[in-house]
């Protein structure tokens, strides 16, 4: 649950094996934040807290279309900041269709 001043404002659902691709320890299955709080650093802070709490091989998907400029920009910035630029980003066909996929390992953080 994502909270601001003890008020729920969003959530992050994390999948673990066997509900991840082979070799992946954690997968962001759902990520939601109220529209009024987007762009204020709340989502990035929440994502980083979840990453810090779960160490291993991470994977997340987002829609690669041009209509998803905000989502792609958010995940590029968040993952790049968290990993100091050490991550893989590529477009590929997934179980959920064609997606922009981010992968990184935070075992050493």
| CATH number reported for the structural domain that contains residue 16 in this entry | 3.40.630.30
Residue 54 contacts residue 14 (beta carbons within 8 Å): yes
Average pLDDT over residues 68-96: 95
Exposure b/e, 27-40, CB count within 10 A at least 16 = b: bbeebebeeeeeee
For 24, the domain range is 2-105
The CA distances from residue 41 to 46, 55, 104, in Å, are 9, 22, 21
Q: Which of 66, 78, 73 is CA-nearest to residue 28? A: 78
Angle of helix 42-53 relative to helix 69-83, nearest 10 degrees, comes to: 50
Average pLDDT over residues 78-102: 95
Does pLDDT of 109 surpass 90? no
Average pLDDT over residues 32-52: 96
Task: Look at the chain and report how many structural domains it folds into.
Answer: 1
Average pLDDT over residues 49-66: 96
Average pLDDT over residues 91-104: 93
């Amino acid at each position: 649950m994502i909270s601001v001043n003890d008020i729920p404002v969003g959530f992050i659902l994390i999948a673990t094996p066997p509900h991840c691709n082979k070799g992946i320890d954690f997968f962001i299955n759902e990520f939601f934040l109220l529209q009024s709080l987007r762009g204020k650093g709340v989502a990035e802070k929440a994502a980083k807290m979840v990453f810090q709490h779960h160490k291993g091989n991470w994977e997340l998907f987002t829609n690669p279309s041009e209509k998803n400029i905000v989502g792609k920009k958010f995940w590029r910035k968040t993952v790049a900041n968290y990993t100091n630029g050490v991550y893989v980003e590529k477009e590929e066909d997934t179980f959920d269709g064609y997606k922009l996929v981010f992968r990184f390992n935070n075992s050493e953080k």
